[in-house]
Amino acid sequence: MHDQQLRALVAARAGGDRIAAAAAARRRPTALLDEGRIMVVAADHPARGALAAGRRPLAMADRRDLLDRLCLALSRPGVSGVLGTPDVVEDLLLLGALEGKVVLGSMNRGGLAGASWEADDRFTAYDAPALSRMGCQGGKMLVRIDFDDPATPALLEAAGRAVGALAERDLVAMIEPFLARRVDGRLKTELTAQAAIRASAIAAGLGPTSARTWLKVPVVDDMERVAGATTLPTVLLGGEVRDDQDAAFDAWRAALAVPNVVGLVVGRSLLYPPDDDVAAAVDTAVSLLPTASGRR
């Protein structure tokens, strides 16, 4: 992004009404799935103070660089859209990068990375009325279930209300569930098949209806059993950037063969790959997606 583009973006923001007008004029996708699959680039990490990507502790702190990477990723064939908080989504909207794209808004970013209250994932970003007003296709919520943290019941209640509010507006409720616990004072997610199965089962029952609920799950061992815990459409998250990206691709390929796994919602692994070739990483991820006919 050149300085002139950045100045134009800031000026558009200072104008106040440009964002709503751009949202109203945006061409929206006709469906979330394309040939039974979806490929979404995630960029909601900064709002939770999670700025690291692989060996780069402040990789996502440079917003101009992040937007460049997102625009490149969104321009690649087969990429369905983006998942982000309002600030990121609105930047991309003003840059014209979201035409015809799926937009999923991140809803709860209050559980700041490393905070003593990290398990208290309060809803501090999008809500259902805003998602509908902005022409988004759904909302994503992080649900970390810590059986030793008294904040967990309130989070489950808030998530259940959000699922209902989204369904009333015919918007997808994408739930990202984890079992979590404190280890040496820090909140750690449990990345085992048993934990993922239990978290998915809990998440699937949140809200007054599951008619518009999807799950966003980590890739762990025994993905058939994990995805088989519900009949909900399931997407895979990318997790941390790995030095061995081929191993990550192999794991995604195997998990994508499970029938109710319909795609990928991946952020840092594609935006900040070890070799820094965003286009190649995104293209490889898209190539892994099975179509409704089973062909890649």
pLDDT score of 91 more than 80: yes
Percent above pLDDT 70 for the chain: 98
Q: Is residue 292 part of a domain?
A: no
How far apart CA 162 and CA 159 sit, in angstroms, is 5
295 pLDDT higher than 70: no
The pLDDT tens digits of the residues spanning 28-57 come to 999 999 999 999 999 999 999 999 999 999
Positive or negative, the CA dihedral 257, 259, 264, 265 is negative
Task: Indicate the pLDDT class of residue 17, thresholds 50, 70 and 90.
Answer: confident
* Mean pLDDT computed over 195-216: 98
Instruction: Return the CATH number at 174.
Output: 3.20.20.70
Residue 293 has pLDDT above 70, yes or no: no
Write out pLDDT tens, residues 236-292.
999 888 889 999 999 999 999 999 999 999 999 999 999 999 999 999 999 999 875
Per the domain annotation, does 75 fall within a domain? Answer: yes
What range does the domain containing 211 cover? 3-287
pLDDT of residue 292: 53
Asked whether the predicted pLDDT for residue 18 surpasses 80, the reply is yes
Q: Convert the pLDDT of each residue in 137-191 to its tens digit.
A: 999 999 999 999 999 999 999 999 999 999 999 999 999 999 999 999 899 999 9
Residue 236 placed within a domain: yes
Return the half-sphere exposure (C-beta side, CA atoms, 13 A cut-off) of residue 216.
27
Q: How far is CA 289 from the centre of its chain?
A: 17
| Residue 16 pLDDT | 72
pTM for this model (two decimals): 0.95
Spell out a b/e string for 211-250, using b for 16 or more CB atoms within 10 Å of the CB, else e: ebbbbbbbbbeebeebbebbebbbbbbbbebbeebeebbe
Q: What is the pLDDT of residue 150?
A: 92
Percent of the chain clearing pLDDT 90 (strictly above):
92
**DSSP codes of every residue in 77-124:** TT--EEEE-HHHHHHHHHTTTTTT-EEEEE----S-TT-TTTT-----
Q: How many Å is the maximal CA-CA distance in the chain?
A: 51
Structural contact between residues 177 and 143, judged by C-beta atoms closer than 8 angstroms: yes
Q: Is residue 294 part of a domain?
A: no
Torsion of CA 155, 202, 163, 50, to 10 degrees: 50
Number of domains in the chain: 1
